[in-house]
Structure 1
């Protein structure tokens, strides 16, 4: 009996032992399987780091999240992937290294076994191979706090994570368990490639906006997303304030509010500092945030700070601006214009000499000096005044400042408003702060002949004002404290003195701007049309996003032509139609006939400079027939010019130029015009001849000329002067003669827009 009982005990013990071993094996297998790194996960990292995935048009759509990545990596021959969910093995990364042609010294350090790799093992090898991948320098290893994913944030889109370093996509990666934790992750652009590990089980959210609170919660905006945190023991309400929060598991463990502010006109903005009148340059905190609480609520960036205005309060801590709160509307009064040197060659001046028609004050943040009318004030880059910050020249009421060191078509230019002088690495920058309506008085006659009818000048005035309003918010020259410059890069300003006719047009349209769905329209215009306009696709933009820039015939007659067709466009551009509004103007039609040697020499002389200005638009043909951006200085003698694509209205978007030494593709309207222009060659126009360094437009064809069967030159036959988007200024004058008013003309060139009073 005792023996039987013992036997049963031993059997039971054996069963328990078997069950324990089985459970242990299952747990070990499960742990091991979750720790391995899959082919799918590896494909994502390699697609970004070692293929053209980002620029090929491939994406992560498909039956599975990893489909696009696996396809990109497989097509590149980097990994042999049969089962995406299978483990990456050491022999796979060894083969990858050989494919990447890494040095033998690196190859010798890698294993070549069938053993499955853990995540950490793959990441270690990935970092070793990264320098040999084509996009390796774009992969960055960072630490960031995870503020939320679609599981916790309403604002987050699919696979979008909000972090302390900005928003990222995290396709295929599990992140929900990392919320309110600080992690190490690998990124490429705005995509998280992998998360290595958790650094801390808490996170500090810096410079976030607290909207409101209760006894136990705070409602916040964390980097653009609304979120409510628990906060045990809050003794006093906290609302509408900037703060740093330390958070763990959704609960605030520490809160530090920031309330010290400075306010003043913004004189310059960069990613590193804001220059505030009366305070000078104040550094931005690394975690700087800006919130717009005037129109609802929105998170902005430093690029949204408008120079020349005081629309926000800057919140400071430890000597830096850590946040800004926009609480006022933009009420446009002034515009700030950079004045280029003589010939509009540069924004930097070697020295500045100026005087004023009335007495004037020269001031810095530290001192003021008064000068009499007619006194000359001179400033060089080494002047100690510039060490005190921006130097401002302010005339007494009604005084105008003359810049003696600058020449324009009218001679020495004079300016209303104030002049600011700021030191830069390459010289002195001159900024004219001037009322918008005063600015227009010297833009309109500089952009359109004052001899045109007042009704035509009204069109120009509304366009110029709209253009100015639009650029107030663009921030192109914020680093220098300006909105625009005074050259053809924006609107020509004060090259011609103000005229009574243009002043009348400006006064009669005072405050009127052109809008589309309530947004100010950037009213592009140009001198002369060829009888047709184009749309923004000529610049590579999506034309559907700008429905008021359409291709249409600038003519009294109706036409049904597809000018993107080569034959149709050639027939159009080699003929004339007297019903076209621009038909009587010189550059309505033009022709440049060039000897092939002269054309080739001129083209090659400009090629490298144009490549440097737009390297992604001038591509060189490779041995396999593909085109890539690379340094190019000479293509030899031109053997052919082929139009690859025309935009709506017939303007050339892309050409391929074959030479005896190389072949290039040019995908830029401005580069095409510059490269084919010939300074010393006579161009036949509608009314005579002229010489131009650039082609007047890309509404043109390239006709080869042969002598005895050999290419001897090209006839470049074209029409129009300018980019061809929006309004033709010469056509406007003819429309006025046809009794069209300025409102009708604006609707013709910018259909669907409205004139709004500001």
Structure 2
């Protein structure tokens, strides 16, 4: 805890390893004062699989009797109540996916509350007083509350003392108590949380901010419908969901301390600080005896002025081996805890507010500001010059990143480095490491003693057996668990990615194509740094790209070496090179496959380099977006397509009405909740609306609604006895019509491929390039559908089997890449 000087001091304090003066009397007084003023716990975090964060306070009650509710006796507006109600169930992105259906005269999309009113009216959660007006600025009354509670089926649970006369207005404090019941019912993912934040600025004092955006000590948030200007430079308790402040509970402190800010300057009793992503200027109440430039420190505020500054001078740096929100492991230094109120700043070019994922593992690019042995701030000082990549290795079948035990050996003598010591083992010696091994304190590093040597992991199985790894292996201890990481050069990493993604039997040119695509993808995944909590930049599964499932070979090594550092760029930026297994003879536009979530459009625009085009040299005289033309195309094998010799080039599968019905009803709610914008229900006014649903009832029919220019299905119509729905995106279509039995009592469902071979029970249809032949009974009721299709995968970018076909026809790797990715450049990317 900081040792804060009395107000008679000069107002600035330096803390460093060599210069610490502790006044225990004042420390004791301050501790008592802080304990007396702390009514709630600070946020705590628990690291779980894939570095996800769980907030332990999610289930705390919103109401708080230890502080006076801000404006608690004031009425709450219907507009604000609509916002809070909507955010109890949906996040902002989900709310924005719904079409606007309301037509009240007193609101339109330019008002902040419009989208929230829309979603609560769609769900029928709010009783409007007449059809023309919503009256969003009118006070909420208890008749409104009764309607809300009844509509979400919690009226019986709410304390009757909270419900008063129907026409009485509801105070903000009373609404907060009722709101606790609402979130218990609607916040199924427990995303609503209490949080303490210090308001640094709003558009009233920081011009760069957007409307309804504010800066806090924890970053930027949105505060639609709330009055926050009078809370600047105060610590407040809020209800928060993601980046949205749902409501304000109380003031925690009128004289807060903002911790771990970047102090750009303190000169002539004026301070410029950077916090939460914005600059702020403050006057200082006491003379400062020393100018300050670019330091980390704490500033204490009183009446919007700084009355005390603590500078944190001590810092360390080192190569980061693992980092999460709780701890960082530095090579040769050890593990440091990270304070709950840590901050991360980027200082490679312009100063920026960053998150901890920007601290790239495997490199020494950041300074860690230390106080009392704990990291309080991280300053990223250097950009990464990519030389190697760290791969978090999974267990058998790529199941888990957590290992209980690691057994390894090497084809050469190898050395184990632990702490400042090392131990050499002869080649072939099997070393077994578990969490209790005497050599393993925090981590071990294993290196072969010859450049050509490899480490073999005996405790892991891959397609070719026990995998062997170039570079070094790190075993990192995390309590009683082990993380296993391979650090290897980027190019050597690709040696074992290429054969895992593209069969080496396809030839050198095909492997060169895959090497360049894989390098481009690895580049973007490297900077995402998603596995830093496990010590890796990437992992070795399909979550990144498959690594070392098949052994490196002469072809993969040549392919990588002869394309060294080359990647795909468009307008100077490295692109993610989408690829898939097999085309139907035509690739698809990315805009016909994936939703543009920034504007909710589907289908949407497609960048030039991922536009679809024919996969043959002949002229195509058909419009594949027209059903009859596409049917002629997909049932015709006359086109000399690059993929035509691949079994998945054409396929067919027959499913009964009952099988299709089970597949649709089993999966439709899951798909809706994942992507509400893409599954719409037909209403009585013949308009499709975004409506949550669990089932369509009994299946009546399935029809094509729209196709893209490539022939890929973009939307289908599924008619049921209960619901008729329009389903968009190829993935949803393939998922809902999955040729898979759903119990052991059902018959297997077989897909027949072009070469006559069959496969059964797939979780998805092979592709959305298909047409349907439907069979009806004498009563014109659907009996079965035969799907005639082509290709395997989403169809965007490069067909891997198409590459094989082009190689067989003599194409060079550069020509192949420029065929699939129009307008790209092939150039060094690091």
Q: TM-score range by the shorter chain?
A: 0.7 to 0.9
Deviates more, 1:667-676 or 1:143-152: 667-676
Deviates more, 1:225-234 or 1:55-64: 55-64
By how many angstroms is 1:509 displaced? 1.3
Q: Report the counterpart of residue 616 of structure 1 in structure 2.
A: 674
The verdict on how the C-alpha distance between 1:408 and 1:713 changes in structure 2, with shifts beyond 3 A counting, is same
Matched, 1:691 2:745: no
By how many angstroms is 1:148 displaced? 0.4
The verdict on how the C-alpha distance between 1:505 and 1:172 changes in structure 2, with shifts beyond 3 A counting, is same
Alignment counterpart, residue 166 of structure 1, candidates 212, 219, 243:
219
By how many angstroms is 1:468 displaced? 1.2
By how many angstroms is 1:253 displaced? 1.1
- Secondary structure, counterpart of 2:645 in structure 1: coil
Q: Report the counterpart of residue 446 of structure 1 in structure 2.
A: 500
The verdict on how the C-alpha distance between 1:656 and 1:347 changes in structure 2, with shifts beyond 3 A counting, is farther
Please say if residues 599 and 678 of structure 1, whose CA atoms lie closer than 8 Å, have aligned partners that are also in contact: no
Please say if residues 648 and 754 of structure 2, whose CA atoms lie closer than 8 Å, have aligned partners that are also in contact: yes
Q: Determine the C-alpha separation between the residues in 1 that align with 2:584 and 2:227.
A: 58
Q: Report the counterpart of residue 56 of structure 1 in structure 2.
A: 98
- Secondary structure, counterpart of 2:377 in structure 1: strand
Matched, 1:336 2:390: yes
Q: Determine the C-alpha separation between the residues in 1 that align with 2:461 and 2:551.
A: 12
By how many angstroms is 1:693 displaced? 4.8
Q: Determine the C-alpha separation between the residues in 2 that align with 1:727 and 1:37.
A: 55
Q: Report the counterpart of residue 676 of structure 1 in structure 2.
A: 738
- Secondary structure, counterpart of 1:393 in structure 2: strand
By how many angstroms is 1:681 displaced? 5.3
Please say if residues 359 and 370 of structure 1, whose CA atoms lie closer than 8 Å, have aligned partners that are also in contact: yes
By how many angstroms is 1:231 displaced? 2.0
By how many angstroms is 1:192 displaced? 2.8
Q: Deviations over 1:23-77 (max 9, x none)?
A: xxxxxxxxx9995544444444344347885653559854654444456556633
Q: Deviations over 1:632-658 (max 9, x none)?
A: 9xx999765555665563334566777
Deviates more, 1:263-272 or 1:126-135: 126-135
By how many angstroms is 1:742 displaced? 2.8
Matched, 1:496 2:550: yes
- Secondary structure, counterpart of 2:293 in structure 1: coil
Q: Report the counterpart of residue 305 of structure 1 in structure 2.
A: 359
Q: Which has the larger radius of gyration?
A: 1
Q: Which has the higher contact order (CA 8 A, sep 6+)?
A: 2
Please say if residues 395 and 418 of structure 1, whose CA atoms lie closer than 8 Å, have aligned partners that are also in contact: yes
Alignment counterpart, residue 787 of structure 2, candidates 710, 713, 716:
716
Matched, 1:550 2:611: yes
By how many angstroms is 1:96 displaced? 4.9
Q: Report the counterpart of residue 7 of structure 1 in structure 2.
A: none
Q: Deviations over 1:224-274 (max 9, x none)?
A: 001121124122121121111112333211111222223222222333333
Correspondence 1:553-702 to 2 at 5 A: 553-559=614-620, 563-594=624-655, 603=663, 616=674, 640-642=701-703, 646=707, 649-652=710-713, 669=730, 673=734, 676-677=738-739, 682-691=750-759, 693-694=761-762, 695-702=765-772
Q: Determine the C-alpha separation between the residues in 2 that align with 1:103 and 1:570.
A: 57
Q: Report the counterpart of residue 540 of structure 1 in structure 2.
A: 595
Deviates more, 1:497-506 or 1:456-465: 497-506
Correspondence 1:441-480 to 2 at 5 A: 441-480=495-534
Matched, 1:143 2:205: no
Q: Determine the C-alpha separation between the residues in 1 that align with 2:717 and 2:479.
A: 39
User: Mind listing any 5+ residue stretches in structure 1 that lack a counterpart?
Assistant: 1-31
Name the count of aligned residue pairs.
Answer: 721
By how many angstroms is 1:584 displaced? 2.8
Q: Determine the C-alpha separation between the residues in 2 that align with 1:646 and 1:370.
A: 63
Q: Determine the C-alpha separation between the residues in 1 that align with 2:177 and 2:437.
A: 54
Matched, 1:231 2:270: no
By how many angstroms is 1:489 displaced? 4.1
Q: Determine the C-alpha separation between the residues in 1 that align with 2:738 and 2:516.
A: 34
Q: Report the counterpart of residue 703 of structure 1 in structure 2.
A: 773
Alignment counterpart, residue 342 of structure 2, candidates 285, 288, 304:
288
Q: Deviations over 1:84-110 (max 9, x none)?
A: 444444555456555555128623442
The verdict on how the C-alpha distance between 1:70 and 1:340 changes in structure 2, with shifts beyond 3 A counting, is closer
Please say if residues 680 and 727 of structure 2, whose CA atoms lie closer than 8 Å, have aligned partners that are also in contact: no
Alignment counterpart, residue 744 of structure 1, candidates 805, 809, 815:
815
- Secondary structure, counterpart of 1:467 in structure 2: helix
Please say if residues 102 and 129 of structure 1, whose CA atoms lie closer than 8 Å, have aligned partners that are also in contact: no
By how many angstroms is 1:702 displaced? 4.0
Q: Report the counterpart of residue 9 of structure 1 in structure 2.
A: none
Q: Determine the C-alpha separation between the residues in 1 that align with 2:356 and 2:621.
A: 48
Q: Determine the C-alpha separation between the residues in 2 that align with 1:135 and 1:353.
A: 42
Q: Report the counterpart of residue 755 of structure 1 in structure 2.
A: 826
By how many angstroms is 1:301 displaced? 0.2
Please say if residues 211 and 220 of structure 1, whose CA atoms lie closer than 8 Å, have aligned partners that are also in contact: yes
By how many angstroms is 1:153 displaced? 1.6
Q: Report the counterpart of residue 213 of structure 1 in structure 2.
A: 266
Correspondence 1:74-85 to 2 at 5 A: 76=124, 77-80=126-129, 83-85=135-137
Matched, 1:732 2:811: no
Q: Determine the C-alpha separation between the residues in 2 that align with 1:682 and 1:94.
A: 54
Q: Determine the C-alpha separation between the residues in 2 that align with 1:39 and 1:662.
A: 32
The verdict on how the C-alpha distance between 1:106 and 1:611 changes in structure 2, with shifts beyond 3 A counting, is closer
Correspondence 1:31-42 to 2 at 5 A: 35-42=74-81
By how many angstroms is 1:453 displaced? 4.5
Deviates more, 1:655-664 or 1:562-571: 655-664
Q: Report the counterpart of residue 5 of structure 1 in structure 2.
A: none
The verdict on how the C-alpha distance between 1:187 and 1:282 changes in structure 2, with shifts beyond 3 A counting, is same
By how many angstroms is 1:131 displaced? 4.2
By how many angstroms is 1:173 displaced? 2.7
Q: Report the counterpart of residue 23 of structure 2 in structure 1.
A: none
The verdict on how the C-alpha distance between 1:415 and 1:630 changes in structure 2, with shifts beyond 3 A counting, is farther
- Judging by fraction of residues, say which structure has more helix: 1
By how many angstroms is 1:187 displaced? 3.4
Please say if residues 94 and 112 of structure 1, whose CA atoms lie closer than 8 Å, have aligned partners that are also in contact: no
The verdict on how the C-alpha distance between 1:158 and 1:409 changes in structure 2, with shifts beyond 3 A counting, is same
Q: Determine the C-alpha separation between the residues in 2 that align with 1:524 and 1:41.
A: 43
